Structure 1
């Protein structure tokens, strides 16, 4: 029983995964295709040179034509065989790179068809005597030059050339419809021209080329087409105008409608498409630049986060200058088109509180706003902010005027108080001088009183000496 279960488990079918069944491309396959030799710049450049050389050899073969036999064109046959081997090897290399996806590209199918026709041409040339093989295949080999158009798509030098080619290719559908319109108008004009002259015997007698140019509608169509292209149209219009003025008016209307109208419409469609492609290409380049700048700014933010931040999680100016001098940040600033001093000025602008520190997020956001284009929302916000500041400034001016008036009143009061204080100070000074004089006089009085006291204490009355005169004592 166990052996039977084991055999059943061994016979259980193994199915591929959903990704393998859907032929999904894994990252390993994409990396292998990207690193393949067929995707290298040198390989593609060599193929372009060989394509140009093959076209040159084909032109020389036609110019030096001597015959259809193999002996007459042996050198060119050997060169053609060598080019066949090279391009066959290129096809094998691209098949190894892309697998069956090789045939999903129309250019690859076109190149594969040319290689098959070239191989058939070589086989028929060898096996058939006196035959040049498939001349159509030899002619189609020059169409391999169209592959150069695909290769120059990714070359920056030929970017403008590719835009013109792409514009022409994209406008082919419109050109086809315009061509159909031109064909209809040409047919209508040809029928009208033939109708005017088919029964006019006088026109046939006086203009001998009437049957040649306007004898049937098809001949008239060729005539109208010649007039539209302005190819010696006067040689037709002048004699036609002499025999039928209405036919001349019809030709002039044809020139106005077709030459100046419809054919220029084709040019206008191509120019408009080229202009649209240029705008789309410019928009794509702008998006790529914005994405690249965003990645650079994000990388700069990571560099600032690795720096030594202060306690508040902000970056001071000294540490900021140290980071700016690092080679990685200098390269990133150069990619952003900024200089060292510009980054410092942004730091000072972001430091609104003059604290000398800014958070890394704020600095990176300031750089991003500085690098970005001014949007309508930003301009409206700037205008509103300017208007608010202007109205605030007007209010401040009015307040300053009121304060100036009050200051003038206060100044007048202070002037009056000053004059009164000056008079009071002068009065006090006079009073002080008079007080000083009074005190000096009082001092003199006190000195006099003191002197008198001293004299009173020292001097006292004494008896006078008696003198007898005449028996009388005096």
Structure 2
């Protein structure tokens, strides 16, 4: 039994090794193929070629079917390109499924992947039925293949501007629908008014007068129903026909009364000057203000890169000795150039304050500016103070106040301890004692070994300007070298 168990464990280990080897050999290879730039380029070229081919097929079909109208024999449709494109797109789907497995159906791009799979299934069905039964209705489904072009625009970085325009129009589609609804409402209201007016005109027409009957027929062509009235109103503001053509019909309806014609003129002015401009403005504003997340990030990166390159060019032109650093004399001399002044003014930096600018940029106080210091400092000086700069100042002020308060408390404690050990109690906290204070010329031993000076020095750090805080306490029975 123990031997059988060992054999089973060895078999499981071998199977796991084979599965791991198969995953290492096949999985990553297929994934590398799917993510290879050459494979992606071929896919993009295939989509573009298929789009052009669809246009050629549409042009060929309309010309070929018209040959039947002329009594000529129809030319056989192209079949080989359909088979080639269908084979390639099917192979693409198979490679991606083998590379991504569940991620193909459940990953971030699952919608596009499922859509591509449906298009491939439609292509296979179209090829099979076209060669077998010749079902013409499948041509309608070819239109959906054009949506593949959106995937090309989405994936190619060089088409960023085109992608921005497409996504802007898509995102503003809701606003466009509301604009259409407003226009439809205006057409409906004015259509009812003019249709009722035409109805009253038809009631008063003298049917015995042939000319009146002919005029009524002309009016009926434009305003014979609510639908016809709305279509006529839309054509009058969209360029379908000259608006005066419909105005002449309404003048006939008025029979000498210009009220309907005047209302129609008001409708034209309201729509052309007011309604259309407002609708266009709303649509354009929605399209301009809408940018995808990657477009916002890419725009920021491009602006930052462009500004950095301009600053580096300024540094290289100012570095006369090509030492890689910029001294104050070089910096000041270069700022006298009007072009450089205009450039700094464009960055919202006052070029006349050369010394202040150099001091702010020279972070390490070496007297020379490195290119990294110059780029980073200029980027920080660009523009006006932001809320983050104000928060940094508030933070530094708060820290400084805390340190000053801690220092004051330490000094007060030391003075209190000094007064408590002072013989005679003549020393006051409000003023510093001197060597001539009443008592003697020597300072008695009153400070313990871990004295308060070390506490203050640890609070301020060794770089503080108060040198007395870093000094050692005076030895016992020895007068101080200077006054407190």
TM-score range, shorter chain: 0.5 to 0.7
Evaluate the alpha carbon distance shift between residue 118 and residue 285 of structure 1 in structure 2; reply closer, same or farther with a 3 A threshold. closer
Evaluate the alpha carbon distance shift between residue 114 and residue 269 of structure 1 in structure 2; reply closer, same or farther with a 3 A threshold. farther
Evaluate the alpha carbon distance shift between residue 75 and residue 344 of structure 1 in structure 2; reply closer, same or farther with a 3 A threshold. same
| Equivalent runs, 1:275-294 vs 2, <5 Å | 275-277=288-290, 283-289=296-302
Specify which of 64, 79, 82 is matched with residue 80 of structure 1: 82
- Distance in 2, matches of 1:165 and 1:144, equals 17
RMSD value, Cα: 4.8
CA contact (8 A) 2:312 2:371 kept: no
How far does residue 358 in structure 1 lie from its aligned partner after superposition? 6.0
Specify which of 345, 349, 355 is matched with residue 326 of structure 2: 345
Matched, 1:368 2:376: yes
Q: Which residue of 2 aligns with 1:118?
A: 123
TM-score w.r.t. structure 1 length? Answer: 0.54
Evaluate the alpha carbon distance shift between residue 211 and residue 365 of structure 1 in structure 2; reply closer, same or farther with a 3 A threshold. same
CA contact (8 A) 1:186 1:225 kept: yes
Evaluate the alpha carbon distance shift between residue 89 and residue 249 of structure 1 in structure 2; reply closer, same or farther with a 3 A threshold. farther
Matched, 1:228 2:237: yes
How far does residue 333 in structure 1 lie from its aligned partner after superposition? 7.7
Q: Deviations over 1:60-92 (max 9, x none)?
A: 233233579xx9564513332332222222332
CA contact (8 A) 2:164 2:291 kept: yes
Specify which of 208, 222, 225 is matched with residue 217 of structure 2: 208
Q: Which residue of 2 aligns with 1:239?
A: 249
- Distance in 2, matches of 1:293 and 1:231, equals 48
- Aligned partner of residue 135 in structure 2, secondary structure: coil
- Aligned partner of residue 289 in structure 2, secondary structure: helix
How far does residue 149 in structure 1 lie from its aligned partner after superposition? 3.1
Matched, 1:191 2:196: no
Mind listing any 5+ residue stretches in structure 1 that lack a counterpart? 11-27, 295-331, 382-474
Mind listing any 5+ residue stretches in structure 2 that lack a counterpart? 11-27, 207-211, 330-357, 390-484
Q: Deviations over 1:331-379 (max 9, x none)?
A: x9899445534453267745999x994699x873443022456232189
Evaluate the alpha carbon distance shift between residue 113 and residue 226 of structure 1 in structure 2; reply closer, same or farther with a 3 A threshold. same
Q: Which residue of 2 aligns with 1:447?
A: none
Q: Deviations over 1:356-408 (max 9, x none)?
A: 94699x873443022456232189x9xxxxxxxxxxxxxxxxxxxxxxxxxxx
CA contact (8 A) 1:351 1:358 kept: no
| Equivalent runs, 1:364-443 vs 2, <5 Å | 364-372=372-380, 374-377=382-385
Evaluate the alpha carbon distance shift between residue 85 and residue 110 of structure 1 in structure 2; reply closer, same or farther with a 3 A threshold. same
Evaluate the alpha carbon distance shift between residue 102 and residue 191 of structure 1 in structure 2; reply closer, same or farther with a 3 A threshold. farther
CA contact (8 A) 2:46 2:85 kept: no
Q: Out of 240-249 and 178-187, give the one that drifted further.
A: 240-249
Q: Which residue of 1 aligns with 2:51?
A: 51
- Distance in 1, matches of 2:117 and 2:279, equals 33
- Distance in 1, matches of 2:102 and 2:176, equals 34
- Distance in 1, matches of 2:155 and 2:2, equals 64
Evaluate the alpha carbon distance shift between residue 209 and residue 32 of structure 1 in structure 2; reply closer, same or farther with a 3 A threshold. same
| Equivalent runs, 1:80-159 vs 2, <5 Å | 80-103=82-105, 104-128=109-133, 132-135=134-137, 137-159=138-160
How far does residue 120 in structure 1 lie from its aligned partner after superposition? 2.7
- Distance in 2, matches of 1:187 and 1:351, equals 68
CA contact (8 A) 2:175 2:286 kept: no
- Distance in 1, matches of 2:287 and 2:204, equals 51
Matched, 1:63 2:63: yes
Matched, 1:272 2:269: no
- Aligned partner of residue 158 in structure 1, secondary structure: helix
Q: Which residue of 1 aligns with 2:443?
A: none
How far does residue 190 in structure 1 lie from its aligned partner after superposition? 1.1
TM-score w.r.t. structure 2 length? Answer: 0.53
How far does residue 202 in structure 1 lie from its aligned partner after superposition? 4.3
CA contact (8 A) 1:95 1:102 kept: yes
Evaluate the alpha carbon distance shift between residue 267 and residue 143 of structure 1 in structure 2; reply closer, same or farther with a 3 A threshold. farther
Task: Number of aligned residue pairs: give it.
Answer: 324
- Aligned partner of residue 217 in structure 2, secondary structure: coil
Matched, 1:217 2:226: yes
Q: Which residue of 1 aligns with 2:451?
A: none
Evaluate the alpha carbon distance shift between residue 249 and residue 334 of structure 1 in structure 2; reply closer, same or farther with a 3 A threshold. closer
- Distance in 1, matches of 2:38 and 2:104, equals 12
- Distance in 1, matches of 2:135 and 2:361, equals 84
Q: Deviations over 1:266-301 (max 9, x none)?
A: 43234223432469777523532588799xxxxxxx
How far does residue 198 in structure 1 lie from its aligned partner after superposition? 0.6
How far does residue 179 in structure 1 lie from its aligned partner after superposition? 1.0
| Equivalent runs, 1:172-187 vs 2, <5 Å | 172-187=173-188
- Distance in 2, matches of 1:41 and 1:335, equals 36
